[in-house]
Amino acid sequence: MSSVRQCAICGTDEAETWTPVVLLETLRMRCTVLNDADVPPIPAGLYWLCPPCESWRPEARTAPLPARVMATVNATAALIEKPDTRHLFHTEQVGAYRHFARQLQAINYQKGKP
């Protein structure tokens, strides 16, 4: 198992500091735009956030997504040929990131004791 931490939201592993958060229940989502495709569930447990994603998390309902996350969403949506489908996919992905971030709970974490 790798000891390298990775941000649960943007995926970076290049942070000076990390904030522990917990997902209390397994999160299941669907991608309705692409033939109602199943998305692998996100298991409950301990996750880590980089500073930009942690500062965004409390305002995830309305604040703009962190730049790294938005770049990923834009790049993925750009692969879809039909403009209407691309727009719907983009909207759905932004919503999924917002929903995931809002489910993460800040915790007081001590090594060995979540």
Q: How do residues 36-64 score in pLDDT, each as one tens digit?
A: 667 789 999 999 999 999 999 999 999 99
Is the residue at 32 inside a domain? yes
Count H helices, E strands: the chain? 3, 5
Is the residue at 81 inside a domain? yes
Is the residue at 53 inside a domain? yes
- Most confident listed range (26-30, 32-36, 37-41, 72-76): 72-76
Asked if residue 112 lies in contact with residue 20, where contact means CB atoms within 8 angstroms, the answer is no
Is the residue at 97 inside a domain? yes
What domain range is 38 assigned to? Answer: 19-106
- How many domains does the chain divide into? 1
Q: What is the pTM (predicted TM-score) of this model?
A: 0.85
